[in-house]
């Protein structure tokens, strides 16, 4: 059996990439694979506890930036510190590969490169799992795709629109697919005494709750409660709060982060996901599999999920008038929509399973024919970059990273 090392992006379970691949890791354990995880230190105790309970060895590294230098998010330190940590992480991952007898490295996001470099140096295969569309804040990685191509034994992306896009951008190789999976409880939702509009997801520009707030305001039904469940970006939360105050909205609840957000949703609620962009739309899937009537924006991720489930109502992203109309009609027809959602539930659940979600990954692992790429064999000949002199160290480090990553433009 193979031992697999995962490189994970956030060290939290508040995003689809981490949640879905945690399910993959548990499925691989059940199949007899050894699984090890590496991520950045986040201070997130539920994340640590989840891995402990699953029996997955988890390493969490301090970093001034865990992602590519030009990926979203600030660098929390100096340039010297940035390259120190990049070097240190590659060396630590190499050591884990040796100590844990790792046979394969899987990087669970396009946003990190350390696992790909370590795998290349150690001469073992590397899979890259891509969740992010190369647009908006993730447009930066278009310049990294030649590096991703050369430093991957296999590339997987979320099924649907993203897979089609990456296949166009990398026409000379096969882009394999998966879709995000999360365990959905079959427990019934709690009984509600009134109909509410609910949205689950972090308050962010990308999740676009301001669009829902605007439609709710135009709805002119203040007796209907709007509940926004999830953590938040501080600046975006201030925008939400300012809108609520300016428009005198007295029936909007900001519920904040919840360990189990669906415990707050009742059998009388209407779910809305106004995201500008998703790769798959895991929360939309969760709503469907809880039997909650749903309205979602027509972003590529929601449309990709709809190719599997073919259920739910869509509106044109940015069209607040259309969303307002759908809200009005859905509130009038809530009983009919709820009945339709419950009737479809059994078939929806059959379509959504961990085996179906990761079938191509499982198939490739079971072929026992994974080979390292010829294009990275020369990296095993690289000299060590250990040096206790800070100035020499920085010079060597930059030379080292340039030799490995110049095509990915990590150094500008």
Q: Are residues 81 and 145 in the same domain?
A: yes
Note the pLDDT of residue 401.
56
Of the given ranges (106-110, 286-290, 406-410), which has the lowest mean pLDDT? 406-410
Residue 189 falls inside a structural domain: no
Q: Are residues 369 and 333 in the same domain?
A: no
Q: Rounded to an integer, what is the distance from CA 345 to the centroid of its chain?
A: 25
Distance CA 91, CA 98 (A): 11
H or E stretch covering 126: strand 126-130
Note the pLDDT of residue 412.
35
**Token pair of 144 as six digits:** 């990294």
User: In which order are the strands placed within the sheet that holds 313-315?
Assistant: 252-256, 225-229, 196-200, 270-273, 294-297, 313-315
Predicted confidence (pLDDT) per residue in 17-27, tens digit: 899 899 999 99
Residue 280 falls inside a structural domain: yes
Which domain does 47 fall in, by range?
Answer: 3-181+356-408
Runs of H (alpha helix) within 31-78: 45-54
Beta carbons within 8 Å of 54's beta carbon, 6+ residues apart: 22, 25, 26, 29
**Token pair of 278 as six digits:** 């998703």
pLDDT of residue 240 exceeding 50, the answer is yes
| pTM, 2 dp | 0.79
Q: Are residues 154 and 251 in the same domain?
A: no
Cα within 13 Å of Cα(78), Cβ side: 4
Residue 98 falls inside a structural domain: yes
Residue 331 banded pLDDT, cuts 50, 70, 90: very high
Q: Are residues 321 and 289 in the same domain?
A: yes
DSSP string, 93-108: HHHHHHHTT--EEEES
- Of the candidates 116, 120, 90, the one whose C-alpha atom is nearest the C-alpha of residue 372 is 120
Distance CA 336, CA 268 (A): 12
Average pLDDT of the chain to the nearest whole number: 88
Q: Yes or no: say if 129 and 28 are a contact pair by the CB < 8 Å rule.
A: no
How much is the average pLDDT of 48-63?
A: 96
Cα maximum dimension of the chain: 72
Q: Yes or no: say if 209 and 203 are a contact pair by the CB < 8 Å rule.
A: yes
Q: Are residues 281 and 244 in the same domain?
A: yes
Residue 129 falls inside a structural domain: yes
Residue 149 falls inside a structural domain: yes
Residue that is last in its domain, among 311, 335, 352: 352
Note the pLDDT of residue 375.
41
Cα distances (angstroms) measured from residue 64 to each of 30, 75, 106, 220, 382? 35, 6, 22, 47, 25
Distance CA 174, CA 221 (A): 51
Cα distances (angstroms) measured from residue 79 to each of 74, 258, 336, 385? 12, 36, 59, 17
Residue that is last in its domain, among 323, 352, 381: 352
Note the pLDDT of residue 1.
56
pLDDT of residue 393 exceeding 80, the answer is no
Angle, vertex CA 309, rays to CA 21 and CA 268, nearest 5: 95
Q: Yes or no: say if 104 and 4 are a contact pair by the CB < 8 Å rule.
A: yes
3-state secondary structure of 71: coil
Note the pLDDT of residue 410.
42
Q: Are residues 117 and 208 in the same domain?
A: no
Q: Are residues 226 and 163 in the same domain?
A: no
Q: Yes or no: say if 7 and 105 are a contact pair by the CB < 8 Å rule.
A: yes
Predicted confidence (pLDDT) per residue in 171-221, tens digit: 999 999 998 888 887 778 899 999 999 999 889 998 999 999 999 999 999
Q: Are residues 231 and 318 in the same domain?
A: yes
Q: Are residues 171 and 231 in the same domain?
A: no
pLDDT of residue 108 exceeding 50, the answer is yes
Distance CA 285, CA 200 (A): 12
Burial of 380 (0-12, 13-18, 19+ CB in 10 A): exposed
Residue 186 falls inside a structural domain: no
How much is the average pLDDT of 312-319?
A: 94
Distance CA 357, CA 159 (A): 9
Q: Yes or no: say if 3 and 33 are a contact pair by the CB < 8 Å rule.
A: yes
Residue count (the chain):
412
Distance CA 204, CA 233 (A): 6
Predicted confidence (pLDDT) per residue in 365-384, tens digit: 987 555 554 444 444 444 34
Cα within 13 Å of Cα(54), Cβ side: 23
pLDDT of residue 392 exceeding 90, the answer is no
Predicted confidence (pLDDT) per residue in 338-373, tens digit: 999 888 888 888 888 899 999 999 999 987 555 554
Q: Are residues 159 and 200 in the same domain?
A: no
Q: Are residues 317 and 396 in the same domain?
A: no
Q: Are residues 77 and 169 in the same domain?
A: yes
Q: How many domains does the chain have?
A: 2
3-state secondary structure of 146: helix
Note the pLDDT of residue 142.
96
Residue that is last in its domain, among 331, 352, 373: 352
Residue 191 falls inside a structural domain: no
Q: Rounded to an integer, what is the distance from CA 172 to the centroid of its chain?
A: 26
Angle, vertex CA 79, rays to CA 77 and CA 82, nearest 5: 65
Note the pLDDT of residue 400.
53
| CATH assignment of the domain containing 269 | 3.40.50.2000
Residue 9 banded pLDDT, cuts 50, 70, 90: very high
pLDDT of residue 6 exceeding 50, the answer is yes
pLDDT of residue 408 exceeding 70, the answer is no
3-state secondary structure of 271: strand
Residue 190 falls inside a structural domain: no
């Amino acid at each position: 059996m193979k031992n697999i090392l995962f490189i994970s992006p956030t060290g939290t379970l508040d995003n689809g990439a981490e949640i879905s691949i945690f399910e993959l890791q548990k499925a691989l354990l059940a199949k007899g694979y050894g699984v090890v995880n590496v991520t950045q230190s986040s201070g997130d105790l539920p994340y640590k506890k989840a891995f402990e309970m699953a029996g997955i060895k988890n390493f969490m590294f301090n970093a001034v930036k865990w992602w590519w230098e030009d990926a979203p998010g600030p660098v929390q330190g100096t340039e010297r510190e940035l390259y120190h940590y990049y070097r240190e992480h590659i060396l630590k991952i190499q050591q884990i590969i040796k100590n844990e007898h790792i046979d394969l490295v899987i990087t669970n996001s396009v946003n990190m490169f350390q696992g790909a470099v370590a795998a290349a140096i150690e001469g073992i295969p590397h899979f890259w799992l891509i969740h992010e569309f190369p647009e908006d804040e993730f447009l930066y990685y278009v310049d990294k795709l030649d590096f991703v191509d050369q430093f991957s034994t296999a590339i997987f992306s979320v099924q649907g629109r993203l897979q089609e896009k990456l296949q166009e951008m990398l026409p000379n190789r096969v882009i394999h697919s998966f879709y995000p999976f999360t365990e959905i409880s079959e427990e019934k939702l709690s009984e509600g005494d009134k109909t509410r509009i609910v949205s689950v997801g972090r308050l962010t520009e990308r999740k676009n709750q301001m669009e829902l707030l605007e439609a709710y305001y135009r709805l002119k039904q203040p007796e209907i409660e709007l509940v926004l469940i999830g953590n938040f970006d501080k600046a975006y939360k201030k925008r939400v709060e300012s809108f609520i105050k300016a428009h005198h909205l007295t029936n909007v609840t900001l519920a904040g982060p919840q360990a189990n957000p669906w415990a707050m949703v009742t059998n009388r609620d209407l779910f809305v996901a106004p995201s500008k962009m998703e790769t798959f739309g895991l929360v939309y899937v969760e709503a469907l599999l809880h039997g909650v009537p749903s309205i979602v924006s027509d972003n590529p991720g929601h449309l990709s999920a709809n190719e599997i489930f073919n259920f739910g109502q869509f509106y044109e992203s940015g069209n607040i008038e259309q969303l307002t109309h759908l809200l009005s009609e859905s509130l009038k027809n809530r009983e009919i929509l709820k009945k339709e959602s419950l009737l479809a539930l059994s078939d929806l659940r059959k379509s959504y399973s961990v085996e179906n979600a990761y079938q191509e990954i499982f198939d490739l692992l079971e072929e026992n024919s994974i080979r390292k790429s010829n294009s990275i064999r020369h990296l095993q000949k690289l000299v060590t970059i250990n040096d206790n002199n800070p100035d020499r160290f920085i010079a060597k480090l930059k030379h080292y990273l340039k030799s490995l990553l110049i095509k990915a433009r990590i150094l500008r």
